[in-house]
Amino acid sequence: AQKVTQAQTEISVVEKEDVTLDCVYETRDTTYYLFWYKQPPSGELVFLIRRNSFDEQNEISGRYSWNFQKSTSSFNFTITASQVVDSAVYFCALGANFGNEKLTFGTGTRLTIIP
């Protein structure tokens, strides 16, 4: 069975600080995909990134970066120089059930950026 753990329920940081959101996953599959989605206060789910299990290279996109470590089954997300617009709930998700494209979601981390 797949499982995603986001141990940080809520995080608050002051604007311009860096913040890392943790994600730990469990799966028996050797091929799988990891995702991060952002849910702003308006409620929609915004896709941020997709990584496959064969590509452990870290990725950077502007102020966002992702650290994928297979050895620790983690896929952490860092926001550098945080801004108020980054305030949202962030979900980590695992896709590993081919045929059913189902995503197994973590319970989310609510990030609040204090101006």
Partner 1 sequence: EAQVTQNPRYLITVTGKKLTVTCSQNMNHEYMSWYRQDPGLGLRQIYYSMNVEVTDKGDVPEGYKVSRKEKRNFPLILESPSPNQTSLYFCASSQGLAGLTDTQYFGPGTRLTVL
Q: Which residues bind partner 1 (CB under 8 A)?
A: 4, 32-33, 35, 37, 43-45, 47, 50, 91, 93, 95-103, 105-108
Structure tokens at 57: 């290279």
Q: CB of 105: closest distance to partner 1 in angstroms?
A: 4
Give the residue with the Cβ less far from partner 1, 19 or 96: 96
Give the residue with the Cβ less far from partner 1, 18 or 45: 45
Give the residue with the Cβ less far from partner 1, 31 or 83: 31
Cα 88 to Cα 69, 82, 98: the distances in Å are: 24, 12, 30
Q: CB of 15: closest distance to partner 1 in angstroms?
A: 26
Give me the DSSP letters along 32-75: -EEEEEEE-TT---EEEEEEETT----EEETTEEEEEEGGGTEE
Q: CB of 14: closest distance to partner 1 in angstroms?
A: 26
**Which phi and psi (to 5°) does residue 8 adopt?**
-85, 110
